[in-house]
Amino acid sequence: MPPAVVSKKLDVVFSRLEEGIRSGRWKIGDQMPTENELATELGCSRGTISKALARLEHAGRIERRPRAGTRVIDNKAPPPPQPSIGLDAWGFICPGDQHEGIWRIGRGFQQAAFAAKDRSLMLSTGENFRKEAEIVGRLHEFKVKGAVLYPVVQTPQDQIYYSQMILASKLPLVLVDLNLPGTNRPAVVTDAIHAGKTITQHLLAQNCRKLGFLANYAWTPGVRDRYLGYLQALEEAGIPEDRRRVFFSPEMHANFDDPLGEPTEIARRYLARKPDIDAVVCSNDFFAIALVRVAPEFGLRVPRDFRVVGIDDYSIAAECEVPVTTYRVDYEKLGRLSFELLKKTAEGQTDDYPEIQVRGKLVVRTSG
């Protein structure tokens, strides 16, 4: 079904549910019917009901709790609509500029907007993905021309929720650094398979044959593809994967104030398993730095006892006590291309929903 038809159906369902609350059918404190019951009553899918309830929750009408159901908390008539703020700008929505990759993407986005003599607007949302999703859902109120989104997605449940808000938006949107299949939005991402393969091939060229892989949030597409690149390099070298050398932690708790905290604990757990390794490919530089720093706790040294490489080339990788060999991701280029793709999308110059992949390059330092 075309996105416009889906959006129209959602608007109708949302209006009928809101009218049911305002008319007193469901009073404050009342429990609303289940999603299945509402879908049957309104003749739509459960997914449409879920999206409509999410909008009611954002509007402060209802409260949704797992296993407790949906409860009405406000039935007042909405205030008269305020005139929209005509910003006439292109937006960049992101968690914040504390993360180096994000601020470098933002810099590329702003540089491209400046070169095009266009106004740009940057909104930071913090690490709360629901706040970012809410902003995405309300962008039309500010009359922005479109927006590039850096999604805050930490769990599969977050991805579903965030995707629903993107699907409901009528503005031109472009995703950057992470694609969300099924949202029907173009994206600009790193060629993560090339990154994983390139950095692994570098270790193989150093005669390393017992290569491990360390990562968290294994379900994330970017990490998955970096891992696939690692596997491709091993296969081409005729080396079978040894799962005892691979460690995926299911946790992901974004903390821009302490980006090394969680990777350090995961690195300790990895080395505590005493893997038979002569090198480790890390899904990002933070894991590589963490391995360098915790290795002495286990009587090991990098690169004396095993080599370590990362991916991203954040500035901290070069400043580490053992400078980290890494794969440099061109984040500024991601930002520039995402702006250019956003303008083309808004002007109707794209017939489909492309994914543009950007390749980086190897940066060799002491660790590997």
User: Tens digits of per-residue pLDDT, 268-306?
Assistant: 999 999 999 999 999 999 999 999 999 999 999 999 999
Q: Which residue has the higher pLDDT, 183 or 200?
A: 200
Percent of the chain with pLDDT over 70: 84
Confidence of residue 131 (pLDDT cuts 50, 70, 90): low
**pLDDT given at position 66:** 77
Q: Once rounded to an integer, what is the mean pLDDT over residues 101-118? A: 94
Maximum average pLDDT range among 30-39, 74-83, 119-128, 219-228: 30-39
**pLDDT given at position 6:** 47
Domains 90-189+332-357 and 192-329 share a fold: yes
Confidence of residue 3 (pLDDT cuts 50, 70, 90): very low
**pLDDT given at position 83:** 46
Give residue-wise pLDDT tens across range 327-360.
Answer: 999 999 999 999 999 999 988 887 677 899 999 9
Spell out the domain ranges in the chain: 3-72, 90-189+332-357, 192-329
**pLDDT given at position 2:** 44
Q: What is the pTM of this model?
A: 0.73
CATH number of 3-72: 1.10.10.10, 3.40.50.300, 3.40.30.10, 3.40.50.280?
A: 1.10.10.10
Would you say residue 80 has pLDDT above 70? no
**pLDDT given at position 348:** 83
Confidence of residue 9 (pLDDT cuts 50, 70, 90): confident
**pLDDT given at position 126:** 66
Contact 315, 100 (CB under 8 A): yes
Comparing 62-66, 95-99, 104-108, 339-343, the range with the smallest average pLDDT is 95-99
Q: What class is the 192-329 domain?
A: alpha beta
**pLDDT given at position 54:** 86
Q: Once rounded to an integer, what is the mean pLDDT over residues 164-189? A: 86
Quote the mean pLDDT of the chain: 86
The arrangement of secondary structure in 90-189+332-357, i.e. its CATH architecture, is: 3-Layer(aba) Sandwich (3.40)
Give residue-wise pLDDT tens across range 15-56.
Answer: 899 888 888 889 888 999 999 999 999 989 888 898 889 888
